[in-house]
Amino acid sequence: MRKPLLILGAVLMVTLIAAQLNPVVAGGKTHDVSATIVAVDAQGKKITFQDDAGATSTAAVMDKAVESLKSVKAGDKVVLTCKDSDAGTIEGVIAIRPAPAGKS
């Protein structure tokens, strides 16, 4: 009786630790978007961007990505990690990083 409880406890602990180490996976589905910054609203925590297909979107900036708003400006080429809602729409941007060199 004691051994199965220890195993169950260990599995639970590993699951909790894994969720803490990777909150993006624990928080839901995400996808990356290569984009050009059109406008930054640091006070409103929003970013307007144009993707590679030419579509322009505005999204809320969430979590640690808010700090990145200070270092980006219109015209910058970036990769945005977007958190998706259950409906498949962009819920918000959770990471902003510079586009790899050579990407347009």
Residues 62-93 pLDDT 10s? 999 999 999 999 999 999 999 998 888 899 99
Domain locations in the chain?
Answer: 28-98
Beta strands in the chain (DSSP E): 30-41, 46-51, 56-60, 77-84, 90-98
Rounded to two decimals, the pTM is: 0.70
Residue 43 pLDDT > 90, yes or no?
A: yes
Q: Residue 18 has what pLDDT?
A: 57
Q: How confident is the model at residue 24 (pLDDT cuts 50, 70, 90)?
A: very low
Question: pLDDT-based confidence at 13, cuts 50/70/90?
Answer: low
Q: Does domain 28-98 sit in CATH 3.30.420.40? A: no
